[in-house]
Structure 1
């Protein structure tokens, strides 16, 4: 490695597969590049699954080293979290080789939660190491505290008759626990335990939230009498970190924007369930009838249904042809709704759509990246959690922050019928006596809070500057 004298600090970020991790890793890299003039390298385990993944990598502005996914044993790791953990663990030799041979010695190594198996490599090479939690502080608390819950709670978490207590944070209802906690006998649960135990072995944790949004959770994570005694390392709230419209320049979005330009302000509900979310044929039909029954304008990004597994598209990221949705919607639906609705196959430039003045609501899977994009666009949500920690997100959004409405029962437990869907759409999208809805007012307040946190002197701007100073000093 060459002498680093007179060279910029070099930050290497390591992303696990999936746009839900790749996008926030890249956007964090851009912050170091633009705000602190660091050299940034992205190590990304890619499946070369779709044009979406390729376009995200092309727009990164950073040096990118793609690491092909290792071959895993046939049938190994049926659950998504298990597959991700096994993939990232098998990539450790490639990470060691990459870090050891870089021309400019890395000043810091930052991994997402699935990359913690690579932290010892950074320790061997005497490189500062951080974990970047692309979700929020409440999720981080549960993940880190899981090893304690594992010892004190007997039986399945989902069968408990009272919420799970986390020191200093809101309790977690049994039905809201993230996917690996659904079955303690599944391999993904033991993998998740390992992840939670590995995070304190870093030099610090960056989390994609901001102080004013989750002050209580963040204070608990730092308090040695509360979660700080488990986490043990500093926590830096550096969010919201998410895509900007200029990251979507490779998409042919003109026709969608042209349609939106013709619609009244705040009149359109945008419908998309993330890069990996799927649902049953029956549920898709109910959503279609619900949108039609609501009599509201909509843009719906449609993908082919999948029975049984709600994260089935995560590692393929919407790969498919424009005909995949043809025939899965109710007969005549497109023709009946053509004056008020736009059906988009496979993919849409989400940030561009959300920031359009005609969009007034987002029917969303509550992935944290999509949530931040919606909040920063001032658009309230209809919460429709599907997998991962999305049930926690929906509870946070609807019951604590007040920026979303949600279904009476979890969509993963029961088919949500058209009447309820129509009611939720009308509740969020319609103006009442010329006044905006409560969720719309609240989301605009939180947007202002986030903008203040990101501005010079704001809490998140200051936190990232602190991290940069540590890296430079290291």
Structure 2
């Protein structure tokens, strides 16, 4: 029977987990990789020929989703419903293969609780974000024990070994309300990680040196030793299947490192008031820009994250202030909705990136050597901005008011600072050094290469 490693991803972290699967096969060709997931698309299957896919039934929850916290809770609850199907699938796989390890996404924590007592298979957690975020995860059970109130009702800083201090208002909303069931799901996941065979993290040592050191020295929890940790990043995606985009032709005609790229992820939706303010700030900055614009929300000036309150295609004339499109046509390019981010970040004309601070986007920018301006919107992104600015030193941050609104003047100032000032130059030098460090980490003898070898050895 052949040896196999089984991956169990959640939909939101699928791409980086598949990159991990490809790395396992590359480092150890005698081990096969099997991915168990709900209805994998034919596109995903054909793009990953070295991985065997086994579908699980697509399930839906009996209760309606009425808030962002409910949505995140469902990421745990669907795997919980699928546990019997997963168990049966693993039994079937074990008839023809020797399962050396099961690697689960942290949203699949219910599988750890269900399978630990039923199957004798080492279970590893996959943490799709970095070492700082994982350290917060490990610290959750301690935080839960030490603080009886919800973080949303406190004005404190969360102090975790090796991690920059995070103001409670910048902690992910899912960790801030003890009364919502999703809070306990995260605390329970933190507890189970200590019992796992190890945790695989999508980062590399020089990107987050203090957090990595604290984890390696196993001092992130006072009560229990940290589980084995493997820093195998950056698991950045290497190719995009989309055809050549017209924005890349425009970039070809721009001076080197002169263009600011603005993109806020698939859920990055702003109010029309905020979009106008951004446009005013951009126009006044005088900076060249490439902006992926989504249609605005229809419900006032609060922060992004709701996807059900907007039309699908943006009407640029109605979004922007009068005269903006004409006034910037010689130095700006607007893309409606989707843009080929990897190709843009790796284009020589791009010299800065305004990002929502999603971990995947941060890694892509680091690998491309592009300094960032962090404008977080939802989920763990405000926390990531703290790490981006304080720990990685690979970006600057925009300052919002108490309603998460950013003024045109503030945006203009930060854009100029990133693109045309000494502060931005220091960040640019740092990010270029990190780009080189990422290449070294992944090459033979580098920290990521060694971590992958140790991980595969631990499967044996």
Query: TM-score normalized by structure 1?
Result: 0.87
* Alpha-carbon distance, 1:15 to partner: 1.5
Partner Cα distance (2:44, 2:267) in 1: 15
Unaligned residue ranges in structure 1 (runs of 5+): none
Tell me the equivalent position of 1:252: 243
CA distance in 1, matches of 2:192, 2:92: 25
Helix, strand or coil at the partner of 1:155: coil
Residue pairs, 1:115-130, within 5 angstroms:
115-120=108-113, 122-123=115-116, 124-130=118-124
**Corresponding residue for residue 52 of structure 2:** 63
Q: Superposition pairs for residues 22-61 of structure 1, below 5 Å?
A: 22-37=14-29, 38-45=31-38, 58-61=46-49
Check conservation: 1:218, 1:235, Cα contact below 8 A. Answer: no
Counterparts of 1:39 and 1:353 in 2: how far apart (Å)? 34
Aligned twin of 1:178? 172
1:348 positional shift: 1.5
Aligned to 1:418: 408
* Corresponding residue to 1:135 among 118, 129, 132: 129
Q: Bigger shift: 151-160 or 188-197?
A: 151-160
Tell me: CA distance 1:294–1:65, structure 2 relative to 1, closer, same or farther (3 Å): farther
- Residue 204 of structure 2 corresponds to 210
Paired residue for 1:112, among 77, 100, 105? 105
Shift of 1:310: 3.0
Q: Do the aligned partners of residues 183 and 295 (structure 1) sit closer, same or farther apart at CA in structure 2, a change above 3 Å counting?
A: same
Partner of 1:382: 373
Contact 1:15-1:115 at 8 Å conserved across structures: yes
Aligned partner of 2:449 among 447, 456, 461: 461
Quick one: which of 259, 262, 275 aligns to 1:268?
A: 259
Q: Does structure 2 retain, via aligned residues, the 8 Å contact 1:220–1:228? A: no
For each residue in 1:197-243, what CA deviation from the matched residue of structure 2 results, as whole angstroms up to 9, or x when unmatched?
22223200011112223333233334455437435421111111111
CA gap of 1:330–1:193, structure 2 versus 1, over 3 A, is same
Distance change in 2, residues 1:216/1:134 (3 Å) = same
Q: C-alpha distance in 2, partners of 1:142/1:164?
A: 9
Runs (5+) with no aligned partner, structure 2: none
1:273-352 to structure 2, matched below 5 A, reads 273-306=264-297, 307=299, 308=302, 310-313=304-307, 322=313, 327-352=318-343
Report the TM-score when normalising by structure 2.
0.89
Q: Could you say what secondary structure the match of 2:15 adopts?
A: helix
Residue 440 of structure 1 corresponds to 428
- Cα deviation digits, residues 134-187 of structure 1 (max 9, x gap): 111121111121111112113232443432222454332212211212222222
Range with bigger deviation, 165-174 or 199-208: 165-174
Maintained 8 Å contact 1:361/1:379: yes
Contact 1:23-1:56 at 8 Å conserved across structures: no
**Aligned-residue offset at 1:65:** 3.6
